[in-house]
Amino acid sequence: MIDHKYSIPTPQRWETCFYCGGHLPAKNKEHIFNSNWTGKHKTGSLICDVCNAAFAPEVDKAFLPYTKYQMNVWSLKGERHKDAPTIKTKEKIVIRPGAQPEVTPSLNLHIEDGKLYYKGKAPNKATLRRLLNDQLPLKLGRSLREDEIQQINISVRQAEIHTELAGSVQLHDSIDPSLEMRSTIHTILKCMALYDPKFREHIFKDVLDFSRYGIGDWSSFAVQTHSIVVDVVAAYSKNNPDYNAVEVHYLPANKQILARLVILGQINRWVILSNEYEGPFQLLFVGEPSLGGILEPLFLTFADSFPLSVQVDRVMVIDDFAKELVQLSQIALGPDAQLANLFRCIEQILKGKSHVTVELIEEYRDALLSFITNMGKIQSQITGSFISYSEEDMLRDLMDNGLAELEALIGQSIVSPKVAELITRPILFVFSRLIQLGKEAKSRREDP
Ligand SMILES: [Zn+2]
């Protein structure tokens, strides 16, 4: 159908540094994708030690204001880093890796007329339950009876949750488009050098000078694009939810080379590398999964009659950078953080358990309830209209969509396919329900 041929290119070994002609192989290996964004693949046969070292103090850190959110939320860290990044906000809130605002779990309890009153601060109901089970015996001076433990479980289940969302905090950051574009071009050039032995014939000295020495203006390179006819990144992202990638479009019809860098599957930068390209119509793609895996290159050659694969829309302005940063931080600390938290919670609940138990189902239900509650709040914030979903409705829906059937399987192995399906089903339901509620809220706002 599409008139093209493709090949898997082999990595090049350069005799001398493509920037300065310096000595190779280098002593220090260079990451293809920056290690700050989880890049792992390294080579010593593209650029020399002097050039490599020149990027480290500033250029390699240019995307940290953007990447730190994704890295924090999913607890990702670079190869040479001890921990995933911590985020500090303007209100001096510290957000630990895993989008965890620094909260010390605490519990206030008192007993009056034989009744227990308590108020706790904890990341989830399971932690609150553990706090009660630990502290109440100390307060009473004896261990808890079975009926009291049951009573605590019921009470925690019914406890009202007040959530503080990390997404509502104010952030302050400074960005530098010049350093960002140098980091972008540097990464793209490394991918080109690795797989296209002729790339230097098409790249002008001003591109190399900007990338290596910062000579020139970032706005000569940074562009927004449209009509992406061939989008290898989109196809790649279906198999790799989190990745870094470079896509270079060689376009003889308008004499351009346009290239794109994607960082952590979220941050997109398009650059224009040449306005005088004369060569075949081709596309180079290089991708690397964030969670580890091999560097995957692909070279496509198209017939000249093929429509342009991508076109320049306009030059980027500083507002574009700022808007993207705001959006990224909101998505990361909002929905992405809740999702990451739900996954961690489920992992924790299933850890060390071999069979379905009452406790497992309760903890799972709590995790889902607090996920829905928080997502509802976030969606209300985003859409600007209140999403109403009572806890009774949530519970009923969860029971109808897997939990009731799971209760009938108490004692069965958690690795049985039926149990696995029943653990997944409520999550899938919750997602579709939240999307539906969001749509309803949106249409209410547009048509009150
Ligand atoms: Zn060099």
pLDDT, one tens digit per residue, over 235-274 is: 898 888 789 999 999 999 999 999 999 999 999 999 999 9
Q: Is residue 31 part of a domain?
A: yes
CA of 19 to the centre of ligand 1 (A): 5
Instruction: For residues 272 and 358, state if they share a domain.
Output: no
CA of 209 to the centre of ligand 1 (A): 12
CA of 21 to the centre of ligand 1 (A): 6
Q: Is residue 99 part of a domain?
A: no
Instruction: For residues 243 and 367, state if they share a domain.
Output: no
Residues 6+ apart with CB under 8 A from 425: 401, 402
Quote the crossing angle between the two packed helices 358-383 and 417-446, to the nearest 10°.
Answer: 20
Instruction: For residues 360 and 258, state if they share a domain.
Output: no
The tokens for 138 are 């100390």
CA of 289 to the centre of ligand 1 (A): 28
Q: What is the dihedral of CA 178, 180, 182, 187, to 10 degrees?
A: -170
Residue finishing a domain among 293, 316, 339: 316
| Residue 183 confidence (pLDDT) | 98
Residue 445 has pLDDT above 80, yes or no: no
**Which residues sit opposite 168 in a β-bridge?**
none
Contact 243, 237 (CB under 8 A): yes
| Number of neighbouring beta carbons within 10 Å of residue 316 | 20
The mean-pLDDT minimum among 28-32, 52-56, 70-74 falls in 70-74
| Residue 167 confidence (pLDDT) | 52
Instruction: For residues 196 and 296, state if they share a domain.
Output: yes
- Reported as a pLDDT band with limits 50, 70 and 90, residue 299 is very high
Instruction: For residues 365 and 304, state if they share a domain.
Output: no
Q: Is residue 437 part of a domain?
A: yes
CA of 296 to the centre of ligand 1 (A): 25
Q: Is residue 70 part of a domain?
A: no
| Residue 396 confidence (pLDDT) | 93
What is the pLDDT averaged over residues 405-418? 92
Instruction: For residues 194 and 275, state if they share a domain.
Output: yes
Instruction: For residues 379 and 305, state if they share a domain.
Output: no
| Residue 267 confidence (pLDDT) | 94
The helix/strand/coil state of 397 is helix
Residue of 186, 225, 170, 180 whose CA lies nearest to 67: 180
Question: How does pLDDT run across 212-232, given as a tens digit for each residue?
Answer: 999 999 999 999 998 788 889
Q: Provide the number of structural domains found in the chain.
A: 2
CA of 7 to the centre of ligand 1 (A): 29
Give the Cα separation of 277 and 254 in Å (integer): 8
The residue segments making up the domain with residue 50 are: 4-62+176-316
Residue of 289, 192, 285, 300 whose CA lies nearest to 237: 289
Instruction: For residues 182 and 299, state if they share a domain.
Output: yes
Q: Is residue 108 part of a domain?
A: no
Give the Cα separation of 85 and 73 in Å (integer): 9
CA of 26 to the centre of ligand 1 (A): 9
Contact 187, 246 (CB under 8 A): yes
Instruction: For residues 286 and 390, state if they share a domain.
Output: no
| CA dihedral (428, 434, 437, 441) positive or negative | negative
Question: How does pLDDT run across 416-437, given as a tens digit for each residue?
Answer: 999 989 988 998 898 888 888 8
Residue 365 has pLDDT above 50, yes or no: yes
CA of 249 to the centre of ligand 1 (A): 26
Instruction: For residues 382 and 308, state if they share a domain.
Output: no
Give the Cα separation of 166 and 94 in Å (integer): 10
Residue 448 has pLDDT above 60, yes or no: no
Residue 1 has pLDDT above 50, yes or no: no
Q: Is residue 155 part of a domain?
A: no
Instruction: For residues 48 and 182, state if they share a domain.
Output: yes
Q: Is residue 142 part of a domain?
A: no
CA of 33 to the centre of ligand 1 (A): 18
Instruction: For residues 370 and 238, state if they share a domain.
Output: no
| Residue 244 confidence (pLDDT) | 96
Residue of 218, 249, 221, 268 whose CA lies nearest to 311: 249
Looking at the chain, the whole-number percentage of residues with pLDDT higher than 90 is: 48
| Residue 110 confidence (pLDDT) | 83
Amino acid at the residue 423: I
Residues 6+ apart with CB under 8 A from 44: 24, 25, 26, 27, 28, 29, 30
Q: Is residue 254 part of a domain?
A: yes
- ∠389-394-396 over CA atoms, to 5°? 130
CA of 42 to the centre of ligand 1 (A): 16
- pTM here? 0.79
CA of 321 to the centre of ligand 1 (A): 30
CA of 52 to the centre of ligand 1 (A): 7
Looking at the chain, the whole-number percentage of residues with pLDDT higher than 70 is: 96
CA of 164 to the centre of ligand 1 (A): 50
Q: What is the CA radius of gyration of the chain?
A: 27
CA of 49 to the centre of ligand 1 (A): 7
Residues 6+ apart with CB under 8 A from 99: 72, 73, 166, 332, 333, 336, 337, 340, 341
Give the Cα separation of 193 and 187 in Å (integer): 10
Question: How does pLDDT run across 150-196, given as a tens digit for each residue?
Answer: 888 888 877 776 666 655 567 788 899 999 999 999 999 999 999 99
CA of 18 to the centre of ligand 1 (A): 7
Residue finishing a domain among 294, 316, 338: 316
Residue finishing a domain among 316, 343, 363: 316
Residues 6+ apart with CB under 8 A from 154: none
The helix/strand/coil state of 286 is strand
